[in-house]
Amino acid sequence: MAGKAPTSGNDNNHLVTEVRDTFGKGVARKIRAKGKIPAVIYGHGTEPQHVTLPGHETALILRKSNQVLELDIQGTTQLALVKDVQKDPVRQIIEHIDLIVIRKGEKVIVDIPVHVEGEPAPGTSVNQDSNTVSLEVEAIHIPENIVVSIEGLEEGSQILAKDLALPTGATLVTEPETLIVGITGESEQDLGDETDEAAEGDAPAAEGASEASE
């Protein structure tokens, strides 16, 4: 199978929360002004629970996707998967987070990033058609990414979703025949563009030499 064993991005993401019973945009603004983030937890038939998360620690954790948080809610530990993160479109400040309650041993369907590494054979180009694949995995063991090696691959080589090396216990949800990476030859157009660029780069020098002779 293509690629290396995926790495997990879900270490001990422990956060102490504050339960809140006030809502609305005004309340949310006051929470963010204190450097904290409003969030709601739901799922498994439970009533939505509104909490406040520490801003800095949460932002650091959310630099990676598909994070499972270990929340301390008034002394009780609750695991929750980050479902949605709402950000200010200009300042990119986290405004709100939706969390889903999960249980140990439970499986979830998530989109996992595909990272390509290595260099294909000389004279070829890499086309990555899919940047993520959907997997059903254990909620507390979500891989950070799946790495695909293209080292030395020749023109015409393809890596499909079914070729990926998946973590133990994971099930591929994406259509198996989905193209992830394709290796193509450098087109004549590409080579022509490079030649044109080189010619353009030489033009100023030639003009400069002519001016100097005058």
pLDDT band with cut points at 50, 70 and 90 for residue 133: very high
Domains of the chain by residue range? 11-102, 109-189
- Per the CB < 8 A criterion, the answer to whether 110 and 163 are in contact is no
Q: Give the contacts of 5 (CB within 8 A, at least 6 positions apart).
A: 165, 167
Return the biggest CA–CA distance within the chain. Answer: 86
CA distance 88 to 53: 17
Hey, CA dihedral for 137, 139, 141, 143, is it positive or negative?
positive
The C-alpha torsion from 183 through 185 and 191 to 194, rounded to 10°, is 10
pLDDT in tens, 154-200: 999 999 999 999 988 999 999 999 999 999 997 644 545 555 555 55
- For domain 109-189, give the CATH number: 2.170.120.20
Residue 114: pLDDT over 90: yes
CA distance 48 to 116: 39
pLDDT in tens, 11-69: 568 999 999 988 788 899 999 999 999 999 999 888 899 999 999 999 999 998 899 99
CA distance 3 to 172: 15
The C-alpha torsion from 184 through 188 and 189 to 195, rounded to 10°, is 120
In 10 A of CB 143, how many CB atoms? Answer: 21
- For domain 11-102, give the CATH number: 2.40.240.10
